[in-house]
Amino acid sequence: MHLGSVKRLLVRSVGQLIRALQFIRRMSVGFIGAGQVAHALARGFIAAGVIATHRITASSPGTDRPTVQGLRKLGVNFTTSNKETVSKSDVLFLTVKPHIIPFVLDEIGPDIEDRHLIVSCAAGVTISSIEKKLQQYRADPKVMRCMTNTPVVVREGATVYATGTYAEVEDGKLLEELMASVGYCTEVEEDLIDAVTGLSGSGPAYAFTAIDALADGGVKMGLPRRLAIRLGAQALLGAAKMLLDSDQHPGQLKDNVCSPGGATIHALHVMESGGFRSLLINAVEASCVRTRELQFLADQEKISPAAIKKTTLDKVLQQPGVTAEGVGVRSHGISMFNRSDPRTKKK
């Protein structure tokens, strides 16, 4: 490429970034849904200083949820009207359950304007399905899809996003800068988001469970509960920081802790004997598969909230590259990873 072309491209990119940063300072953010994700993002944005409290609006039909009370304590504008949230917002996060998305889009669709950037945080709901619904009201709705996690509340979140058909480069830059203020953020192809959901989207729950179990081990060996929890959490926090600050593979860092014949290698042997690695791999896979189930349900024109409870693994298993053996399930209703089939159990 000619040097002049490179310079022009660089100037254009820098200009787009500057415009995105300037817009962030004066834009308004809305949340349709006032649950854990909305609460975590609002707290993170406020803590990062990127969005003023009075420029954040959240809506939910319920007013007595702890997260709603938390949002009100932050000073966020709260309303029971989704339409009011739309009217007050430039960037609109959809933070409701996946099966609620079609109902929400039917409600707010007529109110969407050119200025609105729609960001869906609903697991499994595709950009195309949202665009299709909104195109009943607008020819070119700007839609993006992101998967984040609750550690955004302490500005240590992990977020990926994908860009829709009508969203522009500036929209992607804007969302990336906004989400980077509360942790790590990068763009991916949309077909990778289901896997991200299984890994980092659900990941905090895996970590909390691990800390809880480690603390139980400490208590069993005589440690006070509070101290055991703090030490377990600090061990995971420190290990994560070491890995992120290092060029070494996690396996190498693990090896560095294991002295020949020492306590750690004996502990790791017990973990390997219990299938520790396989359990984590299966957990990521199970979350990803469930996300695909939710996608199937959300892609239907309208599904009642009760329908989300039905198992749709047969539909999931019809997708390319997905097999019953690969996800560790039988496709006729037996629970995931349940090795014993009650219908064949000897009496």
**Average pLDDT of 329-345?**
39
Q: Where in the chain is the domain with CATH 3.40.50.720?
A: 3-194
Nearest to 123 by CA among 293, 342, 6, 275: 293
Q: Where in the chain is the domain with CATH 1.10.3730.10?
A: 203-257
Give the position of tokens 């420029």.
55
**Distance between CA 182 and CA 172 in Å, rounded?**
16
Judge whether 76 and 58 are in contact, CB under 8 Å. yes
| Paired sense of beta strands 142-147 and 117-120, if any | parallel
- Residue 161: what residue type? Y
Q: What is the pLDDT of residues 190-243, one digit of tens each?
A: 999 999 999 999 999 999 999 999 999 999 999 999 999 999 999 999 999 999
- The CATH classification number of 3-194 equals 3.40.50.720
3-state secondary structure (DSSP) of residue 186: strand
Confidence band for 297, pLDDT divided at 50, 70 and 90: confident
**Distance between CA 135 and CA 143 in Å, rounded?**
11
Q: What is the pLDDT of residues 15-57, one digit of tens each?
A: 555 555 555 667 999 999 999 999 999 999 999 999 999 999 9
3-state secondary structure (DSSP) of residue 312: coil
Q: What tokens were used for 263?
A: 């306590």
**Distance between CA 308 and CA 188 in Å, rounded?**
27
Nearest to 121 by CA among 143, 137, 142, 151: 143
For the whole model, what pTM was predicted? 0.79
Judge whether 151 and 159 are in contact, CB under 8 Å. no
**Distance between CA 29 and CA 90 in Å, rounded?**
6
Query: Which whole-number Å values give the CA distances from 75 to 71, 178, 306, in the listed order?
Result: 7, 20, 34
Q: What is the pLDDT of residues 56-74, one digit of tens each?
A: 999 999 888 899 999 999 9
What string of DSSP letters covers 283-305? Answer: HHHHHHHHHHHHHHHHTSS---G
Strand stretches in the chain, DSSP E: 29-32, 56-59, 77-79, 91-94, 117-120, 142-147, 157-163, 183-187
Phi, psi at residue 59, to the nearest 5°?
-135, 145
Nearest to 295 by CA among 204, 203, 195, 205: 195
Judge whether 191 and 145 are in contact, CB under 8 Å. no
Q: Which superfamily does 203-257 belong to?
A: ProC C-terminal domain-like (1.10.3730.10)
Query: Which whole-number Å values give the CA distances from 89 to 77, 196, 307, in the listed order?
Result: 11, 28, 31
Q: What is the pLDDT of residues 235-278, one digit of tens each?
A: 999 999 999 999 999 999 999 999 999 999 999 999 999 999 99
Query: Which whole-number Å values give the CA distances from 149 to 157, 204, 229, 289, 313, in the listed order?
Result: 6, 7, 21, 18, 25
